[in-house]
Amino acid sequence: MALHLRDVLLGNTTTRRRRYASLALPPVLFVLTFAAYALDVFQVSGGVVFLAAHAALVGIVGAAWVGYRRAGLVVAWVTTYAALLGQSADHYLLSQSPSHSLTDRAAAFLQPDGLVFLGVEALVLGTLAYLLGALCERGMSRIAAGATSPDGS
């Protein structure tokens, strides 16, 4: 089985249902992470936060699932980015002082340097999680193939 760059980046989803499930995952994780931080289910310990641990964990689990389903590395990156962006949205839009206007908070949320920083984190974490998920899928398929072969090898 030869890997093609297109299949690795965009996935090899043959059915619409699998494709739409992969495309629905990033917005769902964004809303889930945003709501979890807004409702204090997830919390930031304080100080300077370079990587929100709970948001990163949600993104890693999502990207690993994408890797397991072979839905594409780009989808894994966007999935991880969406989870990290959910925490950032909570921080800038809900956790800032009410003395700042909503416009100021939205402008701070949309600052390019912060968005690029989250993007770099998403590239690294999403790639590692995708590889972990793809390796798990390959291992599971080899175990299943070995269990069904008549000679047991």
- pTM value surpassing 0.75: yes
Distance, CA of 108 to CA of 115 (rounded, Å): 10
Distance, CA of 20 to CA of 22 (rounded, Å): 5
Distance, CA of 112 to CA of 78 (rounded, Å): 17
Distance, CA of 22 to CA of 100 (rounded, Å): 37
Two tokens, residue 151: 């000679």
Summarize pLDDT for 43-97 with one digit per residue, the tens. Answer: 887 766 788 899 999 999 999 999 898 888 999 999 999 999 999 999 999 988 8
Cα angle, residue 53 at apex, residues 49 and 57 outer, rounded to 5°: 150
